[in-house]
Amino acid sequence: MIVVHKIALDPNKEQETFFRKSAGCARFAYNWALAEWQKQHEAGGTPNEAALRKLLNAIKAEAFPWLLEVSKNVIQQAIKNLGAAFAHFFRRLEEYRHELDPRRKKRLARKLGYPKFKKKGRCRDAFRADNGPPTTGADAVRVDGIYVVLPVIGRIRMRERLRFVGQVKSAVVSRTADRWFVSLSVEVPEEVLPRKSHAAVGVDLGIATLATVSDGRDPYEAPKPLKTLAKKRRRLGKALARKQGPGPGKAPSKNFLKAKRRLARLEARIANIRIHATHEATTDLCRTCAAIVLEDLSVSGMLANHKIASSLADVGFSEFRRQVEYKAQRYACTVQLAPRFFPSSKMCSRCGHVNDNLKLSDRTWTCPACGTTHDRDVNAAQNLASLAESTPATACGAAGAGPRRTPRTKLAATKQELNGGIKSQS
């Protein structure tokens, strides 16, 4: 099992300069390989990342001698990343081949994730070092107490120790605002972490509260950092706009760069507050449940509603689902998805009647069929819980089959409901 620990670094000025140089070389190698890929494809060839790596190795000493100042691992991994990006694109192309209009090439490429060129200042500064086959000496990525050892640069101090014991497989050094981080991938033995309960629950995600659970526990509140810090963000954005930025034939002023760093630090703080709340909620869920039913939400479609788009982005539905899915594997927890158009909020959890007149602004409603008064979010969570399929953990109280390398996510079968409710789709 591969686990990743992201740790803040404490580099000196020389090491930080090397980080920036390595990130720039990785960006150049990626862009060069993408341009060469497109050139070979237009000429009728069949490019691949292995051939491009060999080609760059053959010419870089004469054509790009400054690439020799950083680890060869950085350059090779950048081109491997391009190969992985194209593999993802072709996989998506095959998956949606019959649903897309080939005449709309630009929209098609954007939808399927065709690799794009990375622009300095617009893309994330990052580079990767990979141990791959057993390596020794300067090319080895390893952890030495509170230090991480990287090729060429050597020992860099970390802000905390690595939490996992195992073989370090790779390291990705990245920059967020003005701070540098290392993400260490570690191979550890597979194990099932202890769970506190064998219950199956439904989880309703929302804007007012991050998640409401069907078992009656207190809902997980959304910190809404974007809304809380909106005034400060707007003020820093205006201050940045008043400074002399980069333009044709002129460099940005020092005050512009300072204002840009202030805004970037605030954006990072907003993201950290949001991700911290999501981690706390998803970890608690996976520790206390054997089966979790979530809605299969179309977040991109919901963001088209400009009235709630900002609030939706402030809670992070997609990130919540991603975290639940990977953490569930470690706790032997099953994740199920309700059908996308399942009326979890509109259906009475007691009698099954569907209230088509329910509006988004209605937080409580009374069922016209049985007279039960519902809290909108609690009712939706209870309806989702009713879709939970029987698993070894929920039926027998066992620990389950243990963690697996493939996600334990599956579509929940819709049950037969009363009074005109949703019928089984099987």
Catalytic sites, residue numbers:
204, 295, 377
Burial annotation 67-80 (CB, 10 A radius, 16+ → b, else e):
beebbebbbbbbbb
Distance of alpha carbon 348 from its chain centroid, rounded? 34
Question: What is the β-pairing status of strands 2-8 and 126-130?
Answer: unpaired
CA distance 364 to 342: 19
Kindly tell me the sign of the dihedral angle through the C-alpha atoms of 268, 70, 27, 51. Answer: negative
CA distance 259 to 236: 7
Instruction: Give me the phi and psi of 98, to 5 degrees please.
Output: -90, 0
In this structure, how many other beta carbons lie within 10 angstroms of the beta carbon of residue 303?
A: 14
Query: Is residue 203 within 8 Å of 339, Cβ to Cβ?
Result: no
Beta strand spans in 52-119 (E): none
* Angle made by CA atoms 367, 369, 374, in degrees to the nearest 5: 20
Taking alpha carbons only, the member of 37, 192, 211, 13 closest to residue 114 is: 37
For residue 120, the one-letter residue type is: K
Instruction: Tell me the helix, strand and coil percentages in the chain, rounded to 5.
Output: 40, 20, 40
Three-class SS state of 28:
helix
For residue 42, the one-letter residue type is: E
Any idea what DSSP says for residue 187?
E
